[in-house]
């Protein structure tokens, strides 16, 4: 199962770029994680590209209005997806400055939040990668998550 994180535009904020690099480096030990950076643009364009690039994937739209889950619930969801023999790609989708379009929300399998606060998209990316790292260590029984 390949886990992809999609974001529009390379992180420009220095602190976000360093956070992204750090968690991607840490995630390398845990298998198939990839960050895909799409061209930046308005919500319509970015959502259309996200849909185009994730055809056939299990799509998780990240959105402040989404469902709030615990880290353990994220880990349980990963476990269930792995049990499914048919699931090759799970993709996490971060939206543009004005968020995801309604079409993308409808086409997503899950809509999850990272918090109920509105985060700048590069900060949302760092929080998401840290959470994926946390889930990976939790599932291996490693002591990072407590
Ligand atoms: C600046 S936010 C967009 C805010 C926009 N007003 C909206 O209604 O979605 C850009 C992207 O960052 C991600 N994001 C920001 N805050 C988030 C949160 N608390 N939980 C999950 N994703 C978030 C989402 O993918 C969002 O589309």
ipTM of the complex: 0.99
Condensed to tens digits (0 to 9), the pLDDT of residues 99-145 reads 999 999 999 999 999 999 999 999 999 999 999 999 999 999 999 98
77 Cβ contact list (under 8 Å, min separation 6): 69, 110
What's the CA-to-centroid distance between 111 and ligand 1, angstroms?
Answer: 11
Q: Residue 146: which pLDDT band, with cuts at 50, 70 and 90?
A: confident
What would the pLDDT profile of 43-86 be if each residue is shown by its tens digit?
999 999 999 999 999 999 999 999 999 999 999 999 999 999 89
Query: Rounded to whole angstroms, how far apart are CA atoms 91 and 93?
Result: 6
Contact partners, residue 69, CB within 8 Å, separation at least 6: 77, 112
CATH class of the region 2-139: alpha beta
Domain edges within the chain:
2-139
**Pair of tokens at residue 134:** 């946390």
Ligand 1 mutation target, pool 8, 12, 63, most atoms within 8 A of CB = 63
């Amino acid at each position: 199962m390949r886990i992809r994180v999609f974001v529009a535009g390379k992180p420009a904020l220095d602190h976000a770029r360093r956070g992204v690099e750090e968690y991607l480096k840490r995630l390398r030990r845990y298998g198939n994680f990839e960050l895909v950076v799409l061209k930046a643009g308005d919500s319509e364009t970015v959502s259309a590209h996200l849909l185009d690039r994730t055809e056939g994937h299990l799509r998780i739209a990240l959105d402040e209005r989404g469902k709030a889950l615990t880290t353990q619930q994220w880990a349980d969801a990963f476990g269930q997806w792995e049990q499914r023999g048919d699931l090759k790609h799970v993709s996490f989708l971060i939206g543009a400055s004005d968020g995801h379009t309604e079409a993308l929300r409808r086409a997503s399998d899950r809509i999850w939040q990272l918090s109920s606060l509105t985060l700048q998209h590069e900060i949302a990316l760092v929080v998401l990668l840290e959470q994926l790292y946390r889930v990976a260590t939790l599932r291996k029984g490693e002591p990072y998550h407590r």
